[in-house]
Amino acid sequence: MKQVKQYENEKVLVLGLAKSGFSAAKLLHRLGALVTVNDGKPFEENPAAQDLLEDGIRVITGSHPIELLDEDFSLMVKNPGIPYSNPLVKKAESLHIPVLTEVELAYQVAECPIIGITGTNGKTTTTTMISLLLNQDREKGNAHLAGNIGFPASEVAEKAESVDDIVMEMSSFQLMGIDEFHPQIAVITNIYEAHLDYHGSRDNYVAAKWAIQKNMNLSDYLVINWDSKELQNLSSQSNATIIPFSTKTELENGAYLKNAGLYYQGERIMEAKELGVPGQHNIENALAAIAVAKLKNVSNESIYKAMTNFQGVPHRTQYVSTIKGRKFYNDSKATNSLATKMALSGFDNKTVILLAGGLDRGNGFDELIPAFHEIKAIILFGETKNKLAETAEKAGIKKILFTENVETAVPLAYEYSAAGDNILLSPANASWDQYSSFEIRGDKFTQAVGKLEK
């Protein structure tokens, strides 16, 4: 870790705990800052705040008193989930107090290169792929996962050594709080419309994503999805060297899909069908990851080994098991129709038994009609089961079954399946009508598959 001196005896307010706030407070304390932590959860219910207090860090919990900013703070480090409309954040900005997120601290102390990955979809899978590729047959150091993937960036940066790499998944929320952050390589997987309740407009959302490259120069690399006209147009505004990837266009200077093969700058790396995970979206993710691996001088042999063995990220079209010729896939992360459409694109629908349903947010599902064409059977549960049944009927699905939940859907799907079929949990809905998170829903699916194996 670089021993930066700029925070010594400086008063810093950390707003919001969770993992990133906790790690930021610890790091700033070690760097000599006079840290105050403010978190909304009451102290007696707040083990993180209790831990920080034991370390000698000042904590104020249970509310966000605006008079806190009457003190002479030189910096606010904000939890990414706290919106900029928060009164404390607005007051800090009016007082010209810099408002950063902890990824900026991670950059300041990191001794090794950072590879930053952002985008609307595919961030986690691409980030995971890149870390596996960079660690495959590696002789010195490690590629460490960090950021929005669940490992606080500042904590990882503290421990990483100069021979390592940090592979950092970055949300738009995190990227709004950077200043000097400067990755060696940045990846933008795609940009769709998302998080407008936080950002206020699509333009603001795109600007937040695009900020990942704002401090890059010609010696850095920006890997972007060339199938997006928007990203193509934005690329002319970057000072970084552009490395494009595409599933539609042969690219002399990038990664692309051609004749069912994955290529990089004219060199065939592997067959698309050899990827360990299905789906057109995973081909895009793989092309982005391969581009990064080649920029980091990973051999084709190592790329092949890592990508053929990759079984997916939990809850994202994750291969679970094969039982008597039936393959089970957990795509519980598919909380909307677009995600389910992308998951289905990786399969022959005639072999698919789809498990779907969940929280009713008032939307319909007719956009799924083309994606549902020729599905062998659909098993529905949750609040939206009747709406999805109407869509399934319109799509011509002949076998439409109802059940109570994911756990009961698994044995029912097995009963109606045959060797060669794919049983896919891809709900197209949030989980909150029956499960507290999509992760728990996916875990229940995996557990139910495990019971079939016994």
Known binding positions for ATP: 119-125
Other beta carbons within 10 Å of 32? 15
* Contacts of residue 313, Cβ cutoff 8 Å, sequence gap at least 6: 124, 125, 128
| Spatial distance between the Cα atoms of 5 and 15, rounded to a whole number of angstroms | 22
- How distant, in Å, are the alpha carbons of 169, 201, 238, 292, 337 from that of 83? 20, 14, 27, 32, 27
Query: Hey, what are 46's tokens?
Result: 């707040």
Q: Which residues are annotated as a binding site?
A: 119-125
Alpha-carbon torsion (332, 334, 340, 345), positive or negative:
negative
Amino acid at 16: G
Instruction: Mark out the alpha helices in 263-405 (DSSP H runs).
Output: 280-295, 300-309, 337-344, 369-372, 385-395
| Spatial distance between the Cα atoms of 166 and 117, rounded to a whole number of angstroms | 11
Give the phi and the psi of residue 376 in degrees, each rounded to 5.
-65, -45
Q: What is the three-class DSSP state of 368?
A: helix
Amino acid at 42: P
Q: Is 415 in contact with 324 (CB distance < 8 Å)? A: no
Strand partners, 404: none
Q: Is 381 in contact with 354 (CB distance < 8 Å)? A: no
- How distant, in Å, are the alpha carbons of 254, 273, 374 from that of 279? 21, 10, 17
Other beta carbons within 10 Å of 304? 16
Residue 192's Cα: distance from chain center in Å? Answer: 14
Residue corresponding to tokens 């098993």: 379
CA-closest candidate to residue 128, choices 327, 292, 330 = 292
- How distant, in Å, are the alpha carbons of 100, 353, 354, 408, 450 from that of 326? 49, 10, 13, 17, 13
Question: What angle, 0 to 180 degrees and rounded to 10, lies between the N-to-C axes of helices 123-135 and 280-295?
Answer: 40
